[in-house]
A and B are shown apart, each in its own frame.
Chain A
């Protein structure tokens, strides 16, 4: 008898938790929009909350890497709940477009605001910020005249001095794709091989880890996105702030094609069940308010002119941008990955 009473109360607790758990999805919203996002910055959550406050539209976010999200979209097909795909890489948006996962965005507002180089030719996706993939080197151990281009990192001069993030990350794949688009397969393979031979340690960690490794002396030079430098400089930990004083940022290839940039971009999914709400959110991403927030708080370059820049972006100044059409990063991705694998850059 005793056990029965106990197990009943257990069952009751169990089901009430279950009900509580499933009822969490309720609430007073006039609509919702589902976002698949590769961006997981705290600032994004603030932006979505502000959007919900202004419009009454709830924003649901699934965060994962772009590759995972694209696979998810493919598997779900026409049943997909997703409305918007956000990635940190133009190559992945292009891949989604080529896989028939996106649809044209019909919004005059977007056409008016987004510069043409940041908009897909079929208006299926656009960039809302861009980031520069710069070279960072040790102030103590590398002289400014030693390096000017990405290509220099593959020279024997830097043997056993380069640290890099794993090739698996889209930032590196798109960098290789951009070199491939400019210089062809043979030169790219040579560059990759030279770079890989120059590694002073096996690739691991993220961009911040590479900066720390340069500061710690595990390598002298690396390639990283600029906003990571700013984030380290703003860190709550003194040791992290210290890292920034030991590295210098260089925008490479200024005398030729320009520094490789990549974007944070968004596309409207092909079977978006909440298309209107989705377009409202996409337009909101381009509002002055959001653009300023992304620049000032996340140190990304806004795509819209005349937006206030973060102090770091101001300090680094303007630079020549590689004008390679962004969709080519997607077009050349597969070949780039094959080259990378063959070179043994893990």
Chain B
């Protein structure tokens, strides 16, 4: 650079101002906020990495030699089994519902999502009750005089939990595949038909390959849920990496072994995420908005229509109606549990906790998305992606990864408070609601983030420029201009967050404070303590709450159509 050019004083100050401006473009309250969010959300991963570097303990060696292989094999079998079954259920029903006429098609269109409202561990509890020796199925068959072998009704094993999980998780595949089949492929499918391709051929050669990204995205959600599950596998006595984390920490009292277990589990998660990325490859899929005309649906024969109706009712019955009926019958059996004051307390606890998390979570998501919109350079985009990583980390891993740094922080904090202010407030962060709320936000931020982000995408960028030119501060632009525009995103994001928090089990089990139970932990505890009938009432409340967003959101979708 030639120095004589900038010898002029004015020029120097201009360059300086330019530098300051550039610096301000990078370092300002908005970007700092995004940075802090990303760092906080990365806490569990950082903790785990830190401990992994420290080296394993004796207990880990013992576990690695004896039971680890079994945990890994079970987890992997579950992932593959559940993937296969939920693909079959999800893709087939999505295809039929969106392209074919049959009896009850409109009803199935939204009803097939219902199993999503039921947490896996609750369905597991219900099915053990249904197939139990003292349950309705065996009692009925005995009273009718049927003789079955003693193991005929045995479902409490790896295969059992695999099937049950599939019937609860397939809606993830169904929802995404249906959205694609219904909206994106109209022109494609009609061209196929015009060229004389049969329905089956169109499905396999045209629809399936093109819908692959949507299907795989749904599938990866299914897999995350499988790896996250603790309640169902624990209740079925199936040892997986998640139960291994609990066992190492609580049963063997070895945090370091628990962290190694977390490490193995995360490895599996990254492997699956990598596979998903790899299969997508460099292929880009254009979003075809369709021709705007509704798709001309296939008109099969009467018998086929009946068969299709039966096929579509299977997942609905198995994943929702049977287990919910069992829970209802239990609740009728012991109605006193509903009127219990502790039950009302439980509902208040869970609902207010979920409300706090959804309000805070949406606020964080809103500020994050908005700051990325204000400063859309690459680092900010990465920070945004990073902040939503928690959804792919199993709850137990997040809990372990947050508890440890919180405890350290707490120790320092209490010592400091005692020395300087002479106050003993006990533990402020770990084992308190503060810690729990933080952990929920780390885990579920993505749930609020994505609906909100897609709402933001529909707004015009020129609004931002316009208000800036008019000298309106970014914060005011957000509250006056954008907030009203992304109302739907805020609402649906908050609702989804609310329900996810209500359903959460493993993280809550580890991090909940003294004297604190949620509907989920209570239902699981009661069921584990051989009081299954009493567990039904809290379980039903979770399910009923979970249905609300499903109905509202499916209405939203159909209104769009």
Binding site for B on A (CB under 8 A): 3, 14, 17-18, 20-21, 24, 34, 40, 60-65, 67-68, 70-72, 74-77, 79, 81, 166, 168, 201-208, 212-213, 215-218, 228, 231, 236-237, 239-240, 242-243, 337-338, 341-342, 346
- From the candidates A24, A72, A81, name the one contacting B426 in the complex (CB within 8 A): A81
Complex interface bits, B408-419 against A, C-beta within 8 A gives 1, otherwise 0: 001100100000
> Closest Cβ of chain B: how far from A210's Cβ, in Å?
11
User: How far apart sit A337 and B66, CA to CA, in the bound complex (Å)?
Assistant: 11
Contact (A71, B62) CB under 8 Å given A3-B483, A201-B151: no
Q: Is there an interface contact between B352 and A63, defined as CB atoms closer than 8 Å?
A: no
Bound state CA distance, A42 and B411, in angstroms?
A: 36
| A62 CA / B514 CA spacing, docked (Å) | 6
Q: Are B247 and A168 in contact (CB under 8 A)?
A: yes
Partner of B355 from the list A17, A72, A75, A202 (CB cut-off 8 Å) is A17
User: What A residues does B410 contact at CB under 8 A?
Assistant: 79
**Inter-subunit contact A243/B134 (CB<8 Å):** yes
Which of B154, B249, B251, B529 is close to A201, meaning CB atoms less than 8 Å apart?
B154
Do A14 and B237 contact each other (CB < 8 Å), given the known contacts A76-B431, A168-B251?
no
Distance in angstroms between the alpha carbons of A24 and B346 in the assembled complex: 12
* Known A216-B138, A240-B134; further 19 A-B contacts with Cβ < 8 A: A17-B352, A40-B529, A60-B515, A62-B515, A67-B250, A70-B253, A77-B411, A79-B410, A166-B237, A203-B237, A205-B156, A207-B530, A212-B132, A212-B134, A216-B133, A239-B134, A239-B139, A242-B134, A243-B133
Contact of A206 among B150, B250, B530 (CB under 8 A): B530
Q: Which of B263-294 contact A (CB under 8 A)?
A: none
Establish whether residues A346 and B237, one from each chain, have CB atoms under 8 Å apart when the complex forms. Answer: yes
CA distance A75 to B431 in the complex (A): 10
| Residue numbers in A under 8 Å from B359 (CB-CB) | 14
Given the known interface contacts A63-B525, A346-B239, the answer about A79 and B352 at a Cβ–Cβ threshold of 8 Å is: no
Which residues of B lie under 8 Å from residue A24 when comparing CB positions? 345, 348
Give every chain A residue within 8 A of B407 (Cβ-Cβ).
Answer: 75
With A202-B157, A203-B237, A240-B134 as contacts: A60 and B514 at CB distance below 8 Å:
yes
A237–B129 Cα distance when bound, in Å, is: 12
| B237 touching A338, Cβ below 8 Å | no
Q: Which residues of A contact B414 (CB under 8 A)?
A: 79
The answer to whether A341 and B67 have CB atoms under 8 Å apart is: yes
Beta-carbon contact of B62 and A338 below 8 Å: yes
Is there an interface contact between B66 and A71, defined as CB atoms closer than 8 Å? Answer: no
Q: Which residues of A contact B528 (CB under 8 A)?
A: 206
Q: Which residues on the A side are within 8 Å of B249 (C-beta)?
A: 71
In the bound complex, residues from chain B placing their C-beta under 8 Å from that of A217 are 150
Is there contact, CB below 8 Å, between B236 and A79? no
Q: Are A14 and B355 in contact (CB under 8 A)?
A: yes
Q: Is the CB–CB distance between B134 and A21 below 8 Å?
A: no
Residue in B250, B334, B529 whose Cβ sees the most chain A Cβ within 10 Å: B250
Near A by CB (< 8 A), chain B positions 312-369 give 333-334, 345, 348-349, 351-352, 355-356, 359
Asked whether any CB of chain A lies closer than 8 Å to the CB of B427, the reply is yes
Contact A79 B427 (CB under 8 A): yes
Q: Which residues of A contact B525 (CB under 8 A)?
A: 40, 63
> Is B403 an interface position by the 8 A CB rule?
yes
**Given A34, A71, A212, A231, which contacts B133 in the complex, CB threshold below 8 Å?**
A212
Contact B66 A341 (CB under 8 A): yes
Q: Is the interface of B mostly helix, strand, loop or mixed?
A: helix
Q: List 13 A-B contacts (CB under 8 A).
A: A71-B250, A166-B237, A204-B156, A204-B157, A204-B236, A205-B156, A212-B134, A213-B133, A237-B134, A239-B138, A337-B251, A338-B66, A341-B62
> Least Cβ distance of B261 to chain A in Å?
14
B555 sits at the interface (CB 8 A)? no
For residue A203, which residue of chain B has the nearest CB? Answer: B237
State how many residues of chain B have any CB contact under 8 Å with chain A: 56
B398 CB → nearest A CB, Å: 17
Residue B57 interfacial (CB < 8 Å): no
Which residues of chain B have C-beta atoms less than 8 A from A237's C-beta? 134
Contact digits for B510-529, partner A, Cβ 8 Å, 1 yes 0 no: 00001100000000010011
Determine if B333 and A236 form an interchain contact, defined as CB atoms under 8 angstroms apart.
yes
Q: Which residues of A contact B133 (CB under 8 A)?
A: 212-213, 215-216, 239, 243
Given known A-B contacts A75-B407, A81-B514, A212-B134, A67 and B345 have beta carbons under 8 A apart: no
Interface residues of B in 60-95 (CB under 8 A from A): 62-63, 66-67, 70
Tell me which residues across on chain A come within 8 A of B514, comparing CB atoms.
Answer: 34, 60, 62, 81
Provide the bound-state CA to CA distance between A14 and B132, in Å.
43
CA distance A203 to B334 in the complex (A): 29
Tell me the interface secondary structure of chain A in the complex: helix
A243 and B133 CA atoms in complex are apart in Å by 9
Contact of A18 among B132, B252, B345, B356 (CB under 8 A): B356
Q: Return the chain B residue nearest A13 by Cβ.
A: B355
Q: Residue on A with the closest CB to B403? A: A75
How far is the CB of B144 from the nearest CB of chain A, in Å?
A: 14
B487 contacts the other chain (Cβ, under 8 Å)? yes
In the complex, chain B residues 425-464 whose Cβ is within 8 Å of any chain A Cβ: 426-427, 430-431
Measured between beta carbons, the chain A residues less than 8 angstroms from B128 are: 205
Residues of A within 8 A of B427 (CB): 76, 79
B29 at the interface (CB under 8 A from A): no
Count chain A CB atoms within 10 A of each CB in B132, B133, B515 and give the residue with the most: B133
Contact of B251 among A14, A18, A67, A205 (CB under 8 A): A67
CA distance A204 to B63 in the complex (A): 20
Q: 7 closest pairs, A vs B, by CB? A: A204-B237, A217-B150, A239-B134, A216-B133, A341-B66, A212-B133, A67-B250
- Minimal beta-carbon separation of A31 from chain B (angstroms): 16
Compute how far the CA of A272 lies from the CA of B119 in the bound complex, rounded to whole angstroms: 38
Q: In the bound complex, do residue B250 and residue A68 qualify as a contact, i.e. CB atoms below 8 Å apart? A: yes
Q: Which residues of the other chain, A, contact B356 by a CB distance below 8 angstroms?
A: 14, 18
A320 to B154, CA, bound (A): 37
CB nearest neighbor in B for A219 = B150
In the complex, which residues of chain B have a beta carbon less than 8 angstroms from the beta carbon of A216? 133, 138, 150, 153
Contacts of A212 in B (CB 8 A): 132-134
Bound: A107/B180 CA distance, A: 72
- With both chains docked as a complex, state the minimum distance between the C-beta of B386 and any C-beta of chain A, in angstroms: 28
Q: Is the CB of B70 within 8 A of A346?
A: yes
**Bound CA span A231–B139, Å:** 20
Chain A nearest Cβ from B167, distance in angstroms: 20
Bound CA span A79–B530, Å? 33
Shortest Cβ distance from A61 into B: residue: B515
In Å, the complex CA distance between A71 and B249 comes to 8
Which among A68, A79, A206, A337 has the highest number of chain B CB atoms within 10 Å?
A79
The yes or no answer to B484 lying at the interface (CB within 8 A) is yes
Residues on the A chain within 8 Å of B430, using CB: 75
CA distance A74 to B254 in the complex (A): 11
Quote the shortest CB–CB distance from A35 to chain B (angstroms).
10
Write the chain B residue with the least CB distance to A165. B237
User: Measured between alpha carbons, how far is A296 from B236 in the docked complex, in Å?
Assistant: 32
Are B487 and A3 closer than 8 Å at their CB atoms? Answer: yes
Within 8 A of A (CB), among B207-256: 236-237, 239, 247, 249-253
A75-B510 Cα distance, complex, nearest whole Å: 12
A218 partner, pick from B62, B151, B253, B334, beta carbons under 8 A: B151
* A18 and B134 in contact, given A3-B484, A204-B237 (Cβ under 8 angstroms): no
Whether B253 pairs with A74 at a CB distance below 8 angstroms is yes
The answer to whether B253 touches A67, judged by C-beta atoms less than 8 angstroms apart, is: yes
- In the assembly, what is the distance between CA of A74 and CA of B430, in Å? 13
